[in-house]
Amino acid sequence: MTAEKKKQFTIVLAFAAIYIIWGTTYLAIRLAIETIPPFLMAATRFLLPGLFLFALLRLRGEATPRRLHWRSALIIGGLLMVGGNGLITWSEQRVPTGTASLVIATVPLWITLFDWLVFKGIRPGKQVILGLFLGLIGIVLLVGPGQLRGTDDFNLFGLLILLLAPVLWSMGSLYSRGAPLPENHFMSTAIEMICGGAMLLLVGLAGGEAGRLELGAVSRQSLAAMAYLAIFGSLIAFSAYIYLLKNVQPTKVATYSYVNPVIAVFLGWQVLDEVVTPTTIGAVVAIVLAVVLITTARPGRGVVETGGTAVAEQEGLGV
């Protein structure tokens, strides 16, 4: 297998990880925070696998990250894990899962906007824009007005906090692409999870979550869900996400936020015997078409500034 084919195969596996695994994490988060405070739970799911990966890499002789690397990891961890995942985890106490899915589905829009206007990156073409809006239409159909309202009282504060999550996550994702980090991809992932997990722990302690944590009341179901999030959601899927950000255009990577709700609906049908309606099928078709439009957009030509030097760069979503 040539180096190029090996890279393409790795990219396919990485996409499969964030598409499928992160499609299951909404349910896992809800189960985990039933008996574990949200920020402490989120801190554990990132800090423990981050420390494990860091120790493993050091034992294998990987160089210690420099101070500049830790600074970058602190920024990325703050934006992705505290601002993104942490706020999602906290908000799921107050906001219906359907609402959370719809809000997080705006990630591709934010990434496209920030990459173009803030990071001076690729200007989206008509096909990409069409795909973005078709994906949002599919998410609205998939979630539906009934699920958006939920069964609990509408919590405006929870929704406002949730709205910050995709914005901060998108900024962190784009910043990570050019940030000074260790050459070893797994070491970069490890220190980002360590920094993000440590900050989540501080937020949880500052918010008084330690006093609300009753170890005897933590259920096996919550522990199992947290373990799943740590191993699959963080160690595997987050590593795949960081790898993709370094090797694939960000708008293409962001299609995971369209696919995840489809996975969630499929699991509901298979595991919980939830009804799949014609509207659901239509929504899935719209989302699949959106992903196809975004990932097959023909490259154009553009000019971006890299290190003060103008360089030609493809304007589509090619790898």
Q: What is the DSSP pairing of strand 301-306 with strand 309-314? A: antiparallel
pLDDT of residue 316: 31
Report the distance separating Cα 36 and Cα 150, nearest Å. 22
In terms of C-beta density within 10 A (0-12 exposed, 13-18 middle, 19 or more buried), how is residue 1 classed? exposed
The DSSP result for 46-97, as a single string, is: HHHHHHHHHHHHHHTTPPPPPHHHHHHHHHHHIIIIIIIIIHHHHHTTTS-H
Residue 151 in contact with residue 97, Cβ under 8 Å?
A: no
Calculate the CA 90 to chain-centre distance.
Answer: 15
Which residue ranges in the chain fall short of pLDDT 50? 151-153, 300-319
Residue 235 in contact with residue 49, Cβ under 8 Å?
A: yes
Has this prediction a pTM greater than 0.85?
A: no
What does DSSP assign to residue 217? G
The DSSP result for 274-308, as a single string, is: ----HHHHHHHHHHHHHHHHHHTPPP-EEEEEETT
pLDDT of residue 306: 33
Count how many residues are written for the chain: 319
Report the distance separating Cα 252 and Cα 112, nearest Å. 10
What does DSSP assign to residue 215? G
